[in-house]
Amino acid sequence: MTRQVLNTEGLTKHYGGVHALEEADFEIHAGEHVAIVGDNGAGKSTFVRQITAVEQRTRGKIWFDGNEVNFAGPLEAREAGIETVFQNLALADDLDVPDNLFLGREKFLLNLGPFSILDYGGMRKATLDALMKTGVKIPSIRNTIRRMSGGQRQCVAIARTATFHSKLTIMDEPTAALGVQETSQVENIIRTLKKAGEPLILISHNMRQVFDLVDRIVVFRRGRIVANLNKEDTDQQEVVAYITGAKSGNGQANLT
């Protein structure tokens, strides 16, 4: 078995009386692409918010890159190497591409605390490198995000993950709002990441896409992991059956 990149044990999140996530045991290995599927409100996004520390979990343990981790916030998770493309993109509309890629972790020419001088040249160069690496095509990186199409915005958000040599990339419904052509561009980027051996967690509603891109499929239902299936051992019908609850089972039984 290859090295584990991320591993959770008994991960649980309650919002007051709402049990959004219950006892999630999850793992992903080096170079592996895993899809998380499930109906709306099944706990997929909640799960991502716990491991990226956008929210603090109610209980449970998380190991990342060999160590047990307790990130205080999303920046710590990012610094550790977990890069997330959020559903709502998390881009600043009035800034250009390099500004967005380096938001919150700018390169500096001179460190003066809050008034540190930005290294525009260095950030621009690193941006172009990241775009090359992911195969993202954008007419001009000096354009503000506001002037870009949905697909271009998504590509910028994805390129951000490639800029920082992340150890794990998480994409929360990266193609939900995109057209056909834009979707295929994003899917190509995901294939590029696979070839480069970068592990990825993909949250998606699109079964065709899931079966096209990933190695393993984890199904969430009502806050619990109900199935953990290798792509070769399953089909779309079975996955849908788990999502809707027509079929139920213990995800741990099928572990690779």
Partner 1 sequence: MKNKADGTGGATFDRSKRTLPGELNVFFALVLIVTTFEALGWLLIGDSFLFNTRENVDTFFNEARLKIIILQVSIVGIIALGVTQVIITGGIDLSSGSIVGVTAMVTMSFAQVSIVNGNPNPKAIFLEQGWLDLPIIVPLVIGLACGIATGMINGLLVAYTRIPPFIATLGMMVAARGAAKWWSKGRPISFPTDEYAAIGKGLMPVLIFIALAILFALILKFTRYGKHCYAIGSNVEAARMSGINVERHLVLVYTIAGTLAAVAAIVLSSKNLTAQAGMGVMYELDAIAMAVIGGVSLSGGRGSIFGTVIGALIFGVIISGFTFLKLDAYYQEMAKGAIIVGAVVLDQWRQRRQTLGG
Given 161, 163, 175, 185, the residue binding partner 1 (CB under 8 A): 185
Least gap, CB of 240 to partner 1 (angstroms)? 28
Q: Does 246 bind partner 1 (CB under 8 A)?
A: no
**CA dihedral (123, 127, 129, 134) positive or negative:** positive
44 binds partner 1 (CB under 8 A): no
Check residue 177 for interaction with partner 1 (CB under 8 A). yes
Tell me the C-alpha distance between 53 and 172, whole Å: 15
Q: How many residues bind partner 1 (CB under 8 A)?
A: 54
* Rounded to 5°, angle at Cα 243 from 241 and 245: 65
Beta carbon nearer to partner 1, 66 or 179: 179
Nearer of residues 26 and 71 to partner 1, judged by Cβ: 71
From edge to edge, which strands make up the β-sheet containing 216-221?
82-85, 168-172, 200-203, 33-38, 216-221, 224-230
Number of helices and strands in the chain (H, E)? 8, 12
Within residues 206-235, the interface with partner 1 by CB under 8 A covers: none
| Residue 118 near residue 107 (C-beta atoms within 8 A) | yes
**One residue of 5, 178, 189, 214 binding partner 1 per CB under 8 A:** 178
Report the relative pairing of strands 33-38 and 200-203 from DSSP bridges: parallel
Query: Applying CB under 8 A, does 191 fall inside the site for partner 1?
Result: no
Distance (Å, rounded) from C-alpha 26 to C-alpha 14? Answer: 18
Residue 162, classed as helix, strand or coil, is helix
Query: Does 72 help bind partner 1 (rule: CB under 8 A)?
Result: no
Q: How far is the CB of 229 from partner 1 (least distance, A)?
A: 31
Instruction: State the DSSP code for 5.
Output: E
Contact between 149 and partner 1 per CB under 8 A:
yes
Angle, nearest 10°, between helix axes 150-163 and 180-195? 10
One-letter-per-residue 3-state SS of 56-80: CCCEEEEEECCEECCCCCHHHHHHH
Q: Does 50 bind partner 1 (CB under 8 A)?
A: no
Binding mask 112-141 for partner 1 (x = CB under 8 A): x-xxxxx-----x---x--xx---xxxxxx
165 binds partner 1 (CB under 8 A): no
Interface with partner 1, residue 199, by CB under 8 A: no
| Closer residue to partner 1, CB minimum distance, 1 or 112 | 112
Binding site for partner 1 (CB under 8 A): 54, 73-75, 78, 84, 86, 88-95, 99, 103-106, 108, 112, 114-118, 124, 128, 131-132, 136-144, 146-153, 177-179, 181-182, 185
